[in-house]
Amino acid sequence: MGRRCLCVIVAVASGWLAVPARAAENAWLEAGRAAVREARAQQPLPGAARNVILFLGDGMNIATVTAARILEGQQRGESGEENVLAWESFPYTAFSKTYSVDAQTPESAGTMTAIVTGAKTTSSVLSVDETVRADDFAASRKHGLVTILEQAEQHGLATGVVTTATVTHATPGATYAHTPNRDWEDDSHLPGAARAAGFPDIARQLIEFPYGDGIEVVLGGGRKGFLPASAVDPEYPAQKGARRDGRDLTREWTQRRPRSAWVWNRAQLDALDLTATDHLLGLFETSYMQFETDRSRDSGGEPSLSQMTATALDLLARAPKGFFLMVEGGRIDHGHHAGNAYRALTEAIELSNAVRVALAKTDPKTTLIVVTADHGHVFTFGGYAKRGNPILGKVVRSDGGGELARDATGLPYTSVGYLNGPGYTGASAEQAEGPKHFPHRPAGQRPATKGRPDLGPVDTSAPSYLPEAIVPLPSETHSGEDVPVYATGPGADLFRGVREQNYLYHAMVEAFGWNAAPPKPAR
C-alpha cells in the first residue's frame, strides 16, 4: 500500500490528470486519491484560539502510538493495523526534538519545562532556566520561567491540570511550580537548608498559586503530599500523610477561595455540583493513580483519565474568556519503565479516549488541541509478523505458513520488546520481577541461565508479562528520539516540520493571539 499511495501522491504533485484505467477496481488506489483530495482541501482555521488543550502522553513514542493503535483495534476483534487513535485524524503533525540543555536522552522535568515555558533547561528542574543548578533553591527564586498556564491566568482565562500521576509530578508540576529539584513534591523531601529558608515544596506552590484567581481544576494522584503526617488517609486507614509542617493543604484549598471543593474518590466527584464549584481539587490516590488495567479493583474507587477530562471540561467550559487545560497520561511512562508493555499501551489507549472526550465537548472552531509526548522509551516492535498478528503475541511470519517465527537457536519470539529493562531473561529472579507491585512473571517463564527462554508455552499477551529486554536494568530507560506532535483547531497549522521542543509553547501562545512581549517573571 505504501508504494502505491506514494505513486498517487507523486502523480497529483506532477499535475497528472489521468489515473490507471483499473484504479476504480482497487480500494487502495481509491483511498489514496480520497486522502489526497482531503489534504488539498485542508485550510487553516481563521482567528485565535479561545481554548487550548495540551494532551501529554508521558513517554509516548511513535512505537507506542502504533502498537496502541493496533492493540485497540484487536481488542475490538479487528486486525488492528487499520485502526485510528483519536489524534491520528488530526490535520497537522510535527516532530519534537526532546534533548535537554545537558542531556541527549532527557527526562520529564526538563522536557515539560520546554513545552510550557518556551525555553529548554537542564534535567530535573521545573520551570527555571538553565543557569539554575540542582538543589539551588536561592537561584531558582531569581530565575523562574513563566509558564503558559500562569500566563493564561494573567489573561483572565480559566486553567486546569489533569494527570494519572501525582499532581505534583514533573509534567503537571512544570505548569505551575518553579523548583531546582523535581523530587521536592512535598516538604518531607526538602533538604534542611531549603526547609529552613521557607522554600515552598511543589504541593505548596500549587495551593499558594498567586496568578489570576487560581487554578480552577486539579485532578490526579498524590494525596499524601497534601496531608499532614498526623492525618489518617481517608482511603487507606493504615497510611498517613507525608507533610512535616503540619499543614493540611486540602483544607487550605477550600479555604483560600470561595466555592472551592476537594474530593478523593469517584463517587464524590460524580456527586459534585459543578454549577456551585469554581475551584476543584481531586486527589484520588496517595501516590500515582491506578493503571487503567487495575482501576476497577481500586478499593476507594477512582475515575479514569477520560472521566477526569470530562469533569475538567465541564467546569472550565463556563469560563467567559476561555481556558487552558493540560491533560497527562502519566502512567504510559510508568508501564514502560516497568517493562510492562500491556499496561503502557492500555494507558495510551485511555489517553486516546480522553482526547475523544475533548473533541466531543469542545468547538473545533475555537479550541486548539495538541497531543504530544515529552520523550520516548526504548520500546519497539517488529519481526516480520503477518497482518493481524496479536501485537503482544509471538511472531507468526507472513511467509511462514502460519508457523511461529524462530530465532537463530530455534526459539519463538514476541513482536514487542525493549532495548533495556527488567524483562532481561538472563537476569536473576529478583531483577526479572522488577518493581514489587507488579506480578510480572506468569507461570511457565523462568529467567534463562543461558540464552533465551522458550516462550512457546507462555502467554505473552497477559497483562503482567514483561517482553524481553536486551540489557538488564531494574528500570527501563527513556529514549532520545524525536516524538510526534498532532494538532487540530485554530493555530494547528503552526505545528509542522521538525521542531525544537520549546517551539510548542511559542506555537500555543501564537494560537492564543497573545501579545508577543516577554511575559512577567515568575515569582
Active site residues: 108
Residue type for 394, please?
A: K
Of the candidates 264, 297, 239, 279, which has an alpha carbon nearest to the alpha carbon of residue 439?
A: 297
SS3 state of residue 394: strand
SS3 state of residue 219: strand
Phi, psi angles (nearest 5°) of residue 383: 100, 10
Phi, psi angles (nearest 5°) of residue 14: -80, -5
SS3 state of residue 379: strand
Which value, to the nearest 10 degrees, does the dihedral of the CA atoms of residues 350, 316, 52, 348 take?
Answer: -10
Q: What DSSP assignment string belongs to 22-55?
A: TGGG-HHHHHHHHHHHHHHH--PPPS--SEEEEE
C-beta separation of 172 from 221 below 8 A: no
Residue showing cell 520546554 = 114
User: Using the 8-state DSSP alphabet, how is residue 131 labeled?
Assistant: T
Of the candidates 90, 140, 112, which has an alpha carbon nearest to the alpha carbon of residue 358?
A: 90
C-beta separation of 516 from 402 below 8 A: no
Could you give the CA distance from residue 64 to residue 294 in angstroms, rounded to a whole number? 20
Question: In this structure, are strands 217-221 and 379-381 parallel, antiparallel, or unpaired?
Answer: unpaired
